[in-house]
């Protein structure tokens, strides 16, 4: 009877361990799928945001070209091909102006794009951190990972996007103030 009881306890412990291992592997797989999907989302937001900014930036150039054509045609229409030949001219003119709202719209698009991209970058960092905590900072994670050998994906492939300037600054641990006027 004791042997049967011990056997029953061992079976229950094995079943619990197997269920725990399956649950661990399911969670680890879910983390990896989430990280990969977040990275793709980051790419999508970056690509669409960049395209929107580039496309909007073309509008002022086209607007300026059309304005030049209009202004040139207006001046030639008023004064002829050689311009005004009058010694004195008392005319009040209303000349076309460049609308600054186009530039504000581009600035707003850049700001929205940067903020959204920063948010998705932060989400990727958080997902990677949660996954690494799940694998390394818990007793069950370390225990089950001895059998499962996670991560199955190369987490370094899913790093955030940064710039050479940022990498250099963090490498040297030095930075300079931003100079807007180039002096």
**DSSP for residue 73:** H
Looking at residue 131, what is its pLDDT? Answer: 97
Looking at residue 100, what is its pLDDT? Answer: 73
Looking at residue 180, what is its pLDDT? Answer: 75
Looking at residue 104, what is its pLDDT? Answer: 85
- The residue ranges of the chain whose pLDDT is under 70 are 60, 63-64, 66-67, 70-71, 73-99, 182-183
Looking at residue 124, what is its pLDDT? Answer: 97
Residue 97 structure tokens: 């102006």
36-42 LR contacts (CB < 8 Å, sep 24+) = 36/153, 36/158, 38/120, 38/123, 38/124, 38/127, 38/158, 39/124, 39/157, 39/158, 41/120, 42/117, 42/120, 42/121, 42/124, 42/160, 42/161
Looking at residue 149, what is its pLDDT? Answer: 94
């Amino acid at each position: 009877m004791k042997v049967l009881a011990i056997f029953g306890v061992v079976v229950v412990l094995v079943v619990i361990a197997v269920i725990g291992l399956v649950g661990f592997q399911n969670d680890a797989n879910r983390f990896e799928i989430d990280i990969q999907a977040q990275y793709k989302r980051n790419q999508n937001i970056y690509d669409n945001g960049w395209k929107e900014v580039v496309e909007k930036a073309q509008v002022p150039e086209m607007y300026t070209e059309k304005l030049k054509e209009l202004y040139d045609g207006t001046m030639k229409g008023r004064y002829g091909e050689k311009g005004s030949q009058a010694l004195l001219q008392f005319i009040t003119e209303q000349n076309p102006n460049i609308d600054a709202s186009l530039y504000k719209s581009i600035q707003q698009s850049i700001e929205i794009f940067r903020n959204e991209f920063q948010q998705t970058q932060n989400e990727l960092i958080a997902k990677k951190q949660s996954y690494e905590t799940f694998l390394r900072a818990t007793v069950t994670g370390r225990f089950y990972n001895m059998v499962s050998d996670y991560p199955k994906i190369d987490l370094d492939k899913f790093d955030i996007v940064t710039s050479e300037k940022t990498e250099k600054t963090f490498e040297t641990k030095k930075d300079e103030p931003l100079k807007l006027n180039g002096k």
